[in-house]
Amino acid sequence: MQPAAVRLNSVCKTFGDRPVVDDLSFSIAPGEMFGLLGPNGAGKSTTIRMLTTLTKPSAGQIEIAGFDTVQQAQQVKQSIGVVLQQTSVDVDLTVWQNMEFHARLHHLPKSDRALRIRQWLDYVALLDRQDDLVKTLSGGMKRRLQIARALLHEPQILFLDEPTVGLDPQTRRRLWEIVLDLNRQGMTILLTTHYMEEVEYLCNRICIMDAGRSIELGTLEDFRTKYGQGILIDRRGETLQTRFFPTLEAANAALDAERDRTGLMVRPSNLEDIFVELTGRDLN
């Protein structure tokens, strides 16, 4: 039986006496596109840092591609690619020089290096910009360069930490196409994002975190079946009130039963509705 691509077992991380990640467990199957959601301070960034060997867990175990992140950190690093929210490419080097530097860090053989660099720059449509300084690239191009660099050593698993933050809608959609294509080729991907539609569009399963814990895990349809397929929105007061119903038909029936329908609206529930219901606040 093939091991999980990612497995967390009762993982905890404390800073002083403060638990930041608290008894977190989940697994990601090979080839899965997995979303990790949570409000600010939920523990997502710390979880990503532990998954990528940058931080050691205080308790519990993390395995990536069957390797322990503490005991076998080097094998884990060879198995993963990481694209962080912050621009982490060197803006004073050219596109090619950034790729060359990363290839050397991963000890890629010289005979193979140029071929792989060309391959991945072409994949993200930056081959024609290979001699340009990174400082001259747009934000979307820099993010595509980060993805190409993360793929250079051909990892099994790709971690994307808010990869489209601050990008315009067209550029975001282009990155979605790249991510989906990588997943179709069999790459396991873990995505954190503040864009709900991004998770709905890209991810197979979703883990919602709050206060360092997993509070819900499953597919969007699992969530909608559990919390309600339909939602009645009441805009009549100073605050927005929402009520979930098992079906859209049931929500419409509740609307029909209201004498005054001013400010009332029915629609299918979505991930943001369920997220706010669970955490009591939106992502911002």
The mean pLDDT of the chain is: 93
Q: How many CB atoms lie within 10 A of CB 99?
A: 25
Res 87 pLDDT > 80: no
255 belongs to a structural domain? yes
- Mean pLDDT over 150-160 rounds to 95
Res 283 pLDDT > 70: no
Verify that 65 and 152 share a domain, yes or no.
yes
- Mean pLDDT over 202-207 rounds to 96
Q: What percent of the chain has pLDDT over 90?
A: 81
104 belongs to a structural domain? no
CA angle, 205 then 57 then 284, to 5°? 50
Amino acid at 41: G
- Mean pLDDT over 128-132 rounds to 96
What integer pLDDT is reported at residue 237 of this predicted model? 75
> Rounded to 5, what percent of the chain is helix, strand, coil?
40, 25, 35
Boundary-marking domain end, from 217, 249, 264: 217
Helix (H, G, I), strand (E, B) or coil at 45: helix
C-beta of residue 207 within 8 angstroms of C-beta of residue 37: yes
Distance between CA atoms of 258 and 95, rounded to whole angstroms?
Answer: 61
- Mean pLDDT over 28-51 rounds to 94
| Reported confidence tier of residue 238, pLDDT bands at 50, 70, 90 | confident
| Reported confidence tier of residue 284, pLDDT bands at 50, 70, 90 | very low
Boundary-marking domain end, from 168, 187, 217: 217
| Reported confidence tier of residue 84, pLDDT bands at 50, 70, 90 | confident
Verify that 195 and 241 share a domain, yes or no.
no
C-beta of residue 67 within 8 angstroms of C-beta of residue 223: no
CATH number of the domain to which 14 belongs: 3.40.50.300
Q: Exposed, middle or buried by CB within 10 Å (0-12, 13-18, 19+), for 164?
A: buried
Verify that 78 and 178 share a domain, yes or no.
yes
Verify that 22 and 86 share a domain, yes or no.
yes
What integer pLDDT is reported at residue 1 of this predicted model? 65
78 belongs to a structural domain? yes
Q: Domain range holding 186? A: 6-90+142-217
Number of domains observed in the structure of the chain = 2
Verify that 22 and 75 share a domain, yes or no.
yes
